[in-house]
A and B are shown apart, each in its own frame.
Chain A
Amino acid sequence: MASPILAASECVAPGQERVFECDVAVVGTGAGGAVAGALLAEAGLHVLFLEEGSYTPTEQLSPALSVALPRLYRDGGVSALVGTPPIPFVEGRCVGGSTLINGGMMWRPPVHVLEEWARLTGSPALGPEGMEALFLEVEDVVSARHHHPLAMGDENRLMLEGPRRQGWHVDINKRNQSLCVGTNHCVTGCPTGAKQSTLVTYVPRAIAAGARCLTETRVEALRIDSGRCVGVEARGYDPRTRKLDRRILVRSRAVVVAGGAVQTPYLLLKHGLGRPSGRLGKNLTVHPNAKVLPIYPFPIKGWQGVNQYAQIRHFHDEGILMADNMIGPAMVASHLPAHGRAAHALMERYDHMILTGVLVEDSVTGQVSRGPFGMAIARYDISEQDHARFKKGVRLLATMHFDLGATEILVPYAHTPIVRSMDELRAAEARQTKRSTLELFTVHLMGTAGMGSNARSSVTSLEGEVWDLPGCYVADASLFPTAIGVNPQLGIMALSSRVARGLASRLNRS
């Protein structure tokens, strides 16, 4: 490879096949893959990343959705979980993965979650003390810290003022940023380079240590020889037609799969793995979210400032988190309960809006399976308990916004999407009886290849190795034994570090 980061179309001709050799093939460059690849490369191993999305350096990132959706988002941003209700989800498909398009939260999994992981797996290494050093290391690398005051906008100030009036506890987020200046383009890729996504942290480290990256390359199968994983089979996209028209074979001593909690089990299921426990693809948790979009009588310019400055954690014991997450007008418009003139009447007040949301901890789990036409099918149905918690969370946020002076609020109820008073909200809530009319979305998918100490109850070992396929490792949110109730980025990076260190040590010994 002439350059360390190349698209498949730049090094393999249409209809041709090319073979690569390396020590470790790493599938994905997001929070899991990039961290693993960097640590493996720095341990002296030859690493080849295989990334399905494209490479967009910071100076090429654009707030225009016409650019960001195809370059950065899986399926152009149209992925959805099947179920009641259907839940749209987004994840990154680019060098940097979801770290390039997320809000940049750096929350450690709560102590009670880590204690549960330690109990479930029988390993103190996954407990609070066992994970401490990994969290500290990752937080240092990605600069997890609070913001410079100049980054803050009026949306952020309102989201502190509102909870204070209600007497609620708010935590100011640590984010992976270095001198964030409040561009609020996090979801289309930070154009300043301040957000410390893996695009600007772990991937360059890996490259500096000798790793190489093939982009626009979809891994479709593992190569298995004598019961051991010895590489991957992939196909490369034609950049103009998006047809997978060139073959890439990778021979390696080990494979790290880090495609996220949907794509990772999809790949592993192709080979019928996870037989001992039967849990591969199961235990999908998603942290479903519901939007609450108030319109104020004064301008807020929510599109300027920090994407997620603070979280309302007053109701965390009930599994409810609330936060702001303002996004550009094109994304807001696509979720409006109107079109034509009515949509524009709302959008004319875009400058007066704040996008806030309710996140509910999962009380149920879903499942990922292999569907027809090469598609992963993720099934998830929310429970009546979750439905009730969403209604409570929406009511709480609406109360806060009306107290702050909002005149209208868009709520996630299909039959009554706009309310103008608490009385109207109560009426809308009374009509909201079916889960199918609740409008949700999600960005946190986890748990489909959970780690553990027993092949009968988990998919991967505590080292991240798939129990029934030696040489194949998982290093992404699929590993989580349970949902964590907070943004998963830091947890993924920490577990991935653990998997990579162990793998490097084994490969360097053998």
Chain B
Amino acid sequence: MVPPMVSSPESPQPTRERAPTAAAASTPALLLADRWPMGRATERAFHAVIVALCPPEPVVPELVPRIDDHVRRLMRYMPWPMAIGLIAAFFLLDWSPLWRFQAFGRISGRASPTAAQAALNAVAHSRFLLQRTLMMAAKGAILSAFYDLPEIQRALGVDLHAHARERIELRRRLLAGEPTHAADRLGRRPDPPEMTP
């Protein structure tokens, strides 16, 4: 069977190779995009919202740059109007004390993270859907990045990667017909009678 024909002159001749597997690690498809570009003012607003939304503890080294990196790379995969909308949300949230007539300052100018969190709390519980949506967008992007950090997950007693490795090994043993052990069972509760359909 002949693979799809290629007509443009710069194209290499088609060949018949099988689907790549491990070799695909070097393909561009497995790279993540560059960070979304931001000016200094945008970055200041964005970082202020990161600090205000993330819990002050557990303390994580390089917290702001790491969340900045996660969110800005992800923005490249959004339709650009959505990415611009997210930037607008960061600005509006930074200036929320002003437009909510609470204070003349902005969140990035506040010394206390508690005061900044309180300002955003007011937006989160607004009766206006648009204000709640602003917070939902910013919170979704930033808190998901925060709780994606391995050290934060470990602080919660969760190690998704170790669990995956352990279960991959279990599956390998099951496929090889090797015996299973009591420790392979997940959880402590007794099996209910409906468990076996």
Contact = CB atoms under 8 A, between A and B. Distances in A.
Contacts of B161: 62-64
Contact of B164 (A65, A150, A191): A191
A366 B151 CA distance: 43
Nearest to B5: A21
Interface string A79-113: 00000011000000000000000000000000000
Q: Which of B17, B19, B57, B190 has the most CB of A within 10 A?
A: B19
A81 to B, nearest CB: 13
A275 B71 CA distance: 42
A375 B174 contact: no
Interface in B133-147: 133, 135, 137, 139-141, 143-147
Contacts of A59: 21-22
B93 to A, nearest CB: 11
A354 to B, nearest CB: 12
A241 interface: yes
A336 B133 CA distance: 13
A75 B79 contact: yes
Nearest to A58: B21
Nearest to A345: B55
B148 A66 contact: yes
Interface stretch (B25-33, B40-48, B98-106): B25-33
A46 B16 CA distance: 13
A239 B28 contact: yes
Contacts of A63: 160-161, 164
B197 A172 contact: yes
A331 B14 CA distance: 42
Contact of B188 (A151, A154, A328, A344): A154
Given A1-B4, A154-B186, A242-B33, A348 B73 contact: no
A400 interface: no
B17 A4 contact: yes
Contacts of A329: 147-148, 152-153, 156, 158
B111 interface: no
B12 A304 contact: no
Interface string A51-80: 000111101101111110111010110100
A201 interface: no
A10 B27 contact: yes
Contact of A242 (B22, B76, B153): B76
Nearest to A337: B124
Interface string A183-197: 101000001111000
A330 B147 contact: yes
Given A78-B78, A330-B148, A305 B30 contact: no
Nearest to A335: B140
5 contacts: A154-B186, A157-B191, A330-B148, A339-B124, A373-B81
